[in-house]
Structure 1
Amino acid sequence: MKKILCVGPLIPPVHGQSLAFTRFYESVENGRKLLINTNFEHLGMTGKVIGNIKVIFLTFLKIIFFKIDKVYFTCSRSFLGSFKDVILINLAALKKIKIYNHLHGSDFYEYFHSVPLWYQKILYNSYNKVDTSIVLLDSMKEQFKDFPDMNLEIVPNFYDKELDVVFEKKDLKTINLLYLSNIIKSKGIFELLESFEVLSRKYDNIDLSIGGDFLSDEYMNKDDIKLKFLEKVKNNRKINYIGKVYGEEKIELLKKSDIFVLPSYYKSEAFPISIVEAMRCGNAIVSTNYKYLPEIVDENNGILVEPKSPESLYKGIEYLLKNKTLLKNIQTRNKIEAEEKYSLNRYTEQLHKIILSEDS
């Protein structure tokens, strides 16, 4: 039996791309798949270099010695990562293997135009050999506008299967706000803390739960973020920092919360799985007018605020606090919409139709 080679990041750690890749990989029958795991986020630079060298070696080994008819990979937007992608694409093309690329971020076009011209030509020649690229939204097709002959397919993100449970009705006596993402500056965590500080002095019936691990971004390293974050939350009894959350603890957090807040300006933000999960659990969404987020969040399922603006975030949250009937209507609508549009079964079925069907 010919096999599909899946090249991408398995969980843990859990983030949108690793969860999406893992769920697709799990959905492929065991005798049909081969794996190369590219999740090196927990490693330092030396570890990442060694990890990418290992991936390149495994790519040669598996493409040359196994009967593979399809390759599925999640494209990278860094030099080390994209270099291994280039080798994968060209080896697969040399063996006349069909190539499927899945983009989970919003920065491929930006990355492509940021590299030196000599490397841009290598990327251009390589990605022109990709048969199909999969994006999360129709507007994300623009990420590949330098490749007009590339076939593009749309598969929206999903909520995980563990959220298909019965939810209790929310009473809204206490309004529970929830931030559930990596704790990095560009996810808007400090704007949220600043706006909540003002809100918590004005409203007695609100609290804020925060779940996630500390990571670095282009603004701050994780140690500085952790110090600043812990200093800001230590004296506010209405803020509950839980740390990393998974499984039942995560479900309970999502179920008991009322408003999910993600004031992100993260450089590769596209279609956060966390927003879909929060919708499925009956949360109204407060997020930012940034990149592709306005295509997911609108007046029907939440509020959009300006990025990097604690004042705008404060006003957006307060609008929902003052309009409980609107809040209830949004919560009900979000549960239904998420179930109809963003189930895991729907996600994997769409990918199987594109990648694994006989005529693909």
Structure 2
Amino acid sequence: MPKVLFVGPYPPPVHGQSNAFKMAFDQYKFSKFLISQNFEKISQSYKLFSTFRVLGLYIKSFFNFSIDVIYLSGSRSLLGAFKDVVLILIFKLRGIPIINHIHAANFDQFLNGLPFLVKQIYLYAFKKVDVFICLLEEMQLEYLKFSSTSKTFVVHNFYDPILDKLKWLSLNIKML
């Protein structure tokens, strides 16, 4: 089985994207590495420090680990986009396939909000992604500009079976 480098928001904090990323990482039972990029609840100065730390981990992973696939849970901030671009461009030097699991709609709106030069660099990097995973069919349309160089799949939001137990528990509590 392939050795996978998982790059994304591993909890805490817990939110939809971090929960989905955690489930993907935890369920993969073969050789794997994790670079967590969950910077939502930290100060701006610590975000900058954490970004340099993550970039160092990219370089360390590039040289020290035998990685077959990158599983990226992409970002929608300018700083996150920068990290995504660096990751994609570094690992494409070794020809490693990249899977980018997209968790937010309105990709075109995000792109159009980027400064012109940053947008061009972002588009250049995204053309090197091998697979995009989107949550909805509508989101898939936003990635057609990359269809000549990548594949796009729709994987709907998952449903964690633990919620059934919690729902049952809350119903029983209300009945008391």
**TM value normalised by structure 1:** 0.45
Q: Which residue does the alignment assign to 1:88? A: 87
CA gap 1:110/1:255 in 2 versus in 1, 3 angstroms: farther
For 2:43 and 2:82, the matched residues in 1 are separated by 18
Return the letter of the residue paired with 2:104: G
Q: Deviations for 1:146-199, whole angstroms, at most 9, x for unmatched residues?
A: 32322100100112131344xxxxxxxxxxxxxxxxxxxxxxxxxxxxxxxxxx
Q: Which SS does the other structure have where 1:146 is aligned?
A: helix
Q: Which residue does the alignment assign to 1:157? A: 157
For 2:147 and 2:2, the matched residues in 1 are separated by 30
State the structure with bigger RCO (CA 8 A, min sep 6), 1 or 2: 2
Q: Which residue does the alignment assign to 2:102? A: 103
Q: What does residue range 1-360 of structure 1 map to in structure 2 within 5 Å?
A: 3-29=3-29, 31-149=30-148, 150-165=150-165, 248=166, 252-253=169-170
CA gap 1:52/1:251 in 2 versus in 1, 3 angstroms: farther
Is the contact between residue 106 and residue 139 of structure 2 (CA under 8 Å) also seen in structure 1? Answer: no
Q: Which SS does the other structure have where 2:68 is aligned?
A: strand
Return the letter of the residue paired with 1:153: F
Return the letter of the residue paired with 1:18: S
**TM value normalised by structure 2:** 0.90
Return the letter of the residue paired with 2:5: L
For 1:20 and 1:39, the matched residues in 2 are separated by 13
For 2:133 and 2:61, the matched residues in 1 are separated by 23
Is the contact between residue 88 and residue 98 of structure 2 (CA under 8 Å) also seen in structure 1? Answer: yes
For 1:118 and 1:17, the matched residues in 2 are separated by 28
4+ residue runs of structure 1 moved beyond 3 angstroms?
250-257
CA gap 1:35/1:255 in 2 versus in 1, 3 angstroms: farther
Is the contact between residue 8 and residue 36 of structure 2 (CA under 8 Å) also seen in structure 1? Answer: yes
Identity of aligned residues (%): 38
Cα distance, 1:32 vs. partner?
Answer: 1.0
Q: Which SS does the other structure have where 1:101 is aligned?
A: strand
Is the contact between residue 72 and residue 99 of structure 2 (CA under 8 Å) also seen in structure 1? Answer: yes
Gaps of 5+ in 1: 166-247, 258-360
For 2:76 and 2:96, the matched residues in 1 are separated by 23
CA RMSD of the aligned region, Å?
2.0
For 2:171 and 2:124, the matched residues in 1 are separated by 45
Is the contact between residue 77 and residue 107 of structure 1 (CA under 8 Å) also seen in structure 2? Answer: no
Cα distance, 1:96 vs. partner?
Answer: 0.7
Is the contact between residue 131 and residue 153 of structure 2 (CA under 8 Å) also seen in structure 1? Answer: yes
Return the letter of the residue paired with 1:5: L
CA gap 1:70/1:136 in 2 versus in 1, 3 angstroms: same
Is the contact between residue 134 and residue 140 of structure 2 (CA under 8 Å) also seen in structure 1? Answer: yes
For 1:22 and 1:107, the matched residues in 2 are separated by 24
Q: Which SS does the other structure have where 1:14 is aligned?
A: coil
Q: Deviations for 1:81-114, whole angstroms, at most 9, x for unmatched residues?
A: 0101011001111011010000001132211111
CA gap 1:35/1:66 in 2 versus in 1, 3 angstroms: same
Q: Deviations for 1:36-64, whole angstroms, at most 9, x for unmatched residues?
A: 00011110111111111111110110122
Aligned residue pair count = 173
CA gap 1:17/1:32 in 2 versus in 1, 3 angstroms: same
For 1:106 and 1:139, the matched residues in 2 are separated by 8
